[in-house]
């Protein structure tokens, strides 16, 4: 299985900050990488697919980059609704696997 490792596991930031979350794959996955946002008690919502493509309806303050083994999710100008847990996920090979999550908290 491909292991997905996110860093940091938790992150404290303030409204208006720009934050970056990193996801590393245990082997090269080309651009088969997605990012999700999950709020407490809710289902994950897709933000980014194919490493850098913005899902329809997702604000442009979210951006993704990377290829191979190293990927980043950047959120510019944090708003209160952005405090949530973020997951990366690879779809390069079966089984699809997720990172352990990064909890973004309001400082």
Partner 1 sequence: QLQLQESGPGLVKPSETLSLTCTVSGGSISSSSYYWGWIRQPPGKGLEWIGSIYYSGSTYYNPSLKSRVTISVDTSKNQFSLKLSSVTAADTAVYYCARHEIGWFDPWGQGTLVTVSS
Residue 63 found at the interface with partner 1 (CB under 8 A):
no
One of 46, 52, 65, 76 touching partner 1 (CB under 8 A): 46
Enumerate residues 6+ apart whose C-beta is below 8 A from 48.
33, 34, 35, 54, 55, 58, 62, 63, 64, 73
Q: Which CB sits closer to partner 1, 32 or 83?
A: 32
**Segment interacting with partner 1, rule: CB under 8 A, options 15-23, 36-44, 60-68, 76-84:** 36-44
Of 84, 91, 92, 73, nearest in space to 22 by CA: 73
Which residues pair with residue 19 across a beta bridge? Answer: 75
- 3-state SS class at 81: helix
Residue 44 found at the interface with partner 1 (CB under 8 A):
yes
Residue 102 found at the interface with partner 1 (CB under 8 A):
no
**Segment interacting with partner 1, rule: CB under 8 A, options 15-23, 43-51, 66-74, 75-83:** 43-51
Q: Which CB sits closer to partner 1, 36 or 83?
A: 36
Positions that interact with partner 1 (CB under 8 A)? 32, 34, 36, 42-46, 49-50, 55, 87, 89-92, 94-101
């Amino acid at each position: 299985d491909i292991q997905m490792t996110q860093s940091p596991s938790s992150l404290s930031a303030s409204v208006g900050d720009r934050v970056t979350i990193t996801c590393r794959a245990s082997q090269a996955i080309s651009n088969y990488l997605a990012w999700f946002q999950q709020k407490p008690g809710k289902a994950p919502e897709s933000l980014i697919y194919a490493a850098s493509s913005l899902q329809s309806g997702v604000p442009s303050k979210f951006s993704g980059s990377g290829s191979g083994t190293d990927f980043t999710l950047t959120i510019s100008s944090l708003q209160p609704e952005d405090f949530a847990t973020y997951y990366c996920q690879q779809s390069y090979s079966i089984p699809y696997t997720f990172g352990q999550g990064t909890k973004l908290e309001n400082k």
